[in-house]
């Protein structure tokens, strides 16, 4: 056991990062670029480590949420192009240019601010235009009656000085859904995106890189891959929907700290939410909600042991939780317990928690060591 394995840790298989990227690339048109989404510390996996593996494996681009995440990658020696998906205040344009980053522009007003802020620099700032086609979040508003004004704003933005407009993109809100209404909504988002591009081209503005396909779109709508795709969830082993074979990258493992034998009728943990029905062998695990194990999972899930699945008992605490070891004779103090990984499905646990795999992976806190394999 290495020093990091004394309590709770994750194992990050970087070979599976490369495998998942190649599995997606195998279904793309030959000329289509691959952008790996590494925002949120690479969904909890460690952005520098994942980015370096993607760079080595032949990815074309990376995406992060903000300038701080982008600069962290540059400081760690990552040289790939990096797209900042969120807003950056104009006063930091110099850092964007100096670090050779690509900034998203989401409105004409912001484009004007960026253009003015970049007057003092010798090179233009590279940007991608973000279009709101129905996500109703960031982007030039182009839906319904806003189409003409939205296109006009994009065209004006692209003609501003001090900006190099490399790309245009939009984001789908339900591309992973198999609901028929959601399918039509996604197709409508795509039709609108194509109409915006065509209208811009009719006005003399073209874009070297057009992209809109997240994991759901790559899997369910291959005709939407265009010049580049932006898979997030599939990179980490989920969302293939049986169409693309993927491998989970992260395992979350903890250890048994203590084992106690309780009489019938004993309450376990905060709130007296669980009471033993018979003589019970209860193990205390060194993991809790301060590590990222949601309290909402209390008394609803089970974890993998060398003797099979063990039911979680009582309220999950900040640093600990308990499991039922009545029929697990081989599990002892120090035994390793898999919270999710090869045997215990992250998708199943996230469903029990009423959330998505993204949130659980991102919730694994920094006090949980990451151990990188290969």
**Residues 123 and 99 sit within 8 Å (Cβ to Cβ):** no
Distances 132 to 106, 144, 164, 276 between C-alpha atoms, Å: 8, 11, 21, 54
Q: Which two tokens stand for residue 303?
A: 């974890």
| 3-state class (DSSP) for residue 96 | helix
236 tagged catalytic:
no
Which DSSP helix (H) or strand (E) runs through 39? helix 39-43
Checking DSSP bridges between strand 163-170 and strand 125-132, what pairing results, if any?
parallel
Q: Active site residue: 25, 33, 39, 328, which one?
A: 39
| 3-state class (DSSP) for residue 213 | strand
What residues are paired with 125 via a beta bridge? 163
- Other Cβ atoms less than 10 A from the Cβ of 277: the count is 9
Q: Residue 220's closest CA among 274, 171, 192, 183?
A: 183
**Residues 337 and 254 sit within 8 Å (Cβ to Cβ):** yes
- Other Cβ atoms less than 10 A from the Cβ of 34: the count is 22
39 tagged catalytic:
yes
Interatomic CA distance for residues 5 and 15, integer angstroms: 21
Q: Active site residue: 6, 75, 270, 348, which one?
A: 270
Could you list the active site residues? 39, 270
């Amino acid at each position: 056991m290495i020093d990091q394995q004394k309590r709770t840790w994750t194992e990050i298989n970087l070979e599976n990062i490369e495998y998942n990227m190649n599995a997606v690339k195998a279904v793309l048109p030959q000329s289509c670029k691959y952008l790996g989404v590494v925002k949120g510390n690479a969904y909890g996996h460690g952005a520098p480590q994942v980015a370096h593996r993607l760079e080595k494996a032949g990815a074309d681009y990376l995406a992060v949420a903000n300038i701080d995440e982008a600069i962290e990658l540059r400081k760690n020696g990552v040289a790939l192009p990096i797209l900042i998906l969120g807003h950056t205040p104009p006063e930091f344009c110099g850092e964007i240019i100096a670090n050779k980053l690509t900034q998203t522009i989401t409105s004409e007003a912001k484009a004007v601010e960026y253009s003015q802020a970049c007057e003092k620099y010798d090179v233009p700032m590279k940007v991608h235009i973000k279009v709101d086609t129905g996500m109703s979040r960031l982007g030039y508003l182009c839906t319904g009656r806003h189409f003409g004004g939205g296109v006009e704003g994009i065209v004006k933005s692209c003609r501003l000085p001090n900006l190099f407009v490399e790309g245009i993109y939009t984001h789908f809100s339900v591309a992973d859904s198999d609901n028929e209404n959601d399918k039509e909504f996604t197709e409508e988002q795509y039709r609108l995106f194509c109409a915006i591009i065509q209208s811009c081209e009719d006005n003399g503005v073209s874009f070297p890189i057009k992209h809109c396909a997240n994991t759901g779109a790559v899997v369910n709508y291959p005709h939407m891959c265009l010049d580049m795709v932006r898979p997030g969830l599939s990179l980490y082993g989920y969302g293939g929907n049986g169409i693309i074979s993927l491998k989970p990258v992260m395992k979350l493992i903890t250890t048994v700290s203590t084992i106690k034998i309780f009489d019938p009728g004993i309450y376990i943990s905060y709130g007296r939410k669980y009471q033993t029905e018979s003589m019970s062998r209860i193990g205390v695990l060194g993991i809790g909600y301060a590590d990222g194990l949601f309290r909402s999972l209390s008394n609803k899930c089970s974890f993998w042991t060398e003797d099979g699945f063990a039911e979680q008992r009582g309220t999950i605490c900040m640093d600990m939780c308990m499991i039922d070891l009545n029929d697990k004779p081989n599990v002892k103090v120090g035994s390793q317990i898999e919270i999710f990984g090869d045997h215990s499905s992250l998708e199943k646990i996230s469903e029990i928690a009423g959330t998505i795999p993204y949130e659980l992976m991102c919730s694994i806190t920094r006090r949980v060591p990451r151990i990188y394999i290969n």
